[in-house]
A = this chain, B = another copy of it.
Amino acid sequence: MRNVKYLKCTRCSREYPALPDMTTCDCGGILDVVYDYDSIRTSLTKETLRERADHTMWRYRELLPIEEDTVPQGLRVGSSPLYESERIAEDLGIKKLYIKDDGFNPTSSLKDRASAMAVTKAKEAGYSTIACSSTGNAASSLAGNAAASGIKTYIFVPSRAPKGKIAQLLMFGANLTAVDGSYEETFELSKKAIDKYGWYNRNAAVNPYLSEGKKTVALEICEQLDFIAPDFVAVSVGDGCTIAGVYKGFYDMYRIGLIDRIPRLISVQAEGCCPINTAVKENTPLRAQEENTFADSIAVGVPRNADKAIKAIKDSDGICVNVSDDEIREAQKYLAKNAGVFAEPAGAAATAGLRKLCREGKLEKDATVVTIATGNGLKDIDSAIKTVSEPIHCKNDLKEFEEKFGLK
């Protein structure tokens, strides 16, 4: 990897060679990939990008931690749409509003970016099996991307995991273990098995390469906005890996001179589970919280990537905002109705936070804002059913229909 200098601990600054199966620092800190930006800026330019036929996340190859001869694995990930919505911008009282619909990925969430990276790094390192413990999008995206590349997966979920998610994992042929116990016990069993069998570890906070996959969402936003950085980017935050990845993408683009500043990040958490925002706002060490929100993908009481997330928020002069479940539900309907983007609850949370800030007059009127929808609403149809009201019932009778819809 010509362009990768080394891995560096975000806590103690110790440096490590960028081996493909590196995990955390000996001090327990999370590692960050350090690039040779001086070299990259000569080959990754607006002009070279324009010529590239590859419209996947791998088009930013110089900024990705894979070997020069590595063939990217997994499904076709990335190049999700960035929709501009004039209607929403007007309603929010800002200049421009863009929605990055990252549910528009092969297994319908942003996590595909990390999982495609995991499968690619695992193959690069000669592994034929990957394991993780998760009940959500990380698990399904790993199972799907691994299936595409013929890699075996062992996935551990607590047995209370929703049947729909289990069905998806089994469809993809994952070796699925439903652990009769808490999530903590599930994680423990997976760790014991990974340690014993030496499987590749797909755990976004432990594996330093995964947020490098996630950052491609920010690289795409830059290119889609013709390299004019937006003023704000709203991201929903759970374990912190996504907002850390988003920051890293903008940081990379800034360091190679393709954008002239890093956007301010808006970190949106649920009121019922906001340990990262609390730590930033109160400038205190992270404290565990309960997980009281229906937005399951961001219900993380003990975030595993808090260090990187907090640094991303602070370094970008970010804003923290917490939203209630009702505000998330409203944002879900708002996005779908006004932009045709049906996001899962955690995916709509970023927009809920943005609306709240706009209502409170905290964003400038000439602001350009991107809100990231991290997952497709079809992932959680049970929540959607509870969010909408009942349809209007009617017999096959035009008069009754007209009355019920107030048509003349």
- Measured CB to CB, the residues of A under 8 A from B are 55, 74-76, 79, 81, 83, 87, 101, 104, 106-108, 143-150, 154, 157, 159, 163-164, 166-173, 175-181, 185-186, 188-189, 192-193, 196-197, 332-333, 336-342, 376-379, 381, 384-385, 387-389, 391-398, 401, 404-405, 407
Contact = CB atoms under 8 A, between A and B. Distances in A.
Contacts of A378: 108, 168, 376, 378-379
Contacts of A398: 189, 192-193, 196
A106 B87 CA distance: 19
Q: Closest 8 CB pairs between A and B?
A: A148-B340, A173-B337, A170-B388, A185-B396, A147-B340, A378-B378, A171-B336, A76-B81
Given A76-B83, A164-B381, A394 B178 contact: yes
A94 B52 CA distance: 32
Contacts of A192: 398
A75 B164 CA distance: 27
Q: Which of A171, A378, A394 has the most CB of B within 10 A?
A: A171
Contacts of A387: 167, 171
Given A147-B337, A173-B336, A178-B394, 17 more contacts: A76-B81, A104-B104, A144-B342, A148-B339, A159-B393, A164-B385, A166-B385, A166-B388, A167-B387, A168-B377, A171-B342, A173-B333, A177-B393, A180-B395, A181-B396, A186-B396, A381-B381
Copy number in this complex? Answer: 2
Contacts of A178: 391-394
Contact of A172 (B87, B164, B193, B340): B340
A159 to B, nearest CB: 6
A340 B401 contact: no
Given A185-B396, A342-B107, A168 B381 contact: yes
B396 A168 contact: no
Contacts of A175: 392, 405
A169 to B, nearest CB: 8
A163 B382 CA distance: 9
Contacts of A74: 340
Nearest to A188: B396
Contacts of A336: 144, 147, 171-173
A124 to B, nearest CB: 19
Contact of A87 (B150, B170, B179): B150
A130 to B, nearest CB: 13
B391 A166 contact: yes
A401 B180 CA distance: 11
Given A81-B75, A177-B392, A392-B177, A384 B168 contact: yes
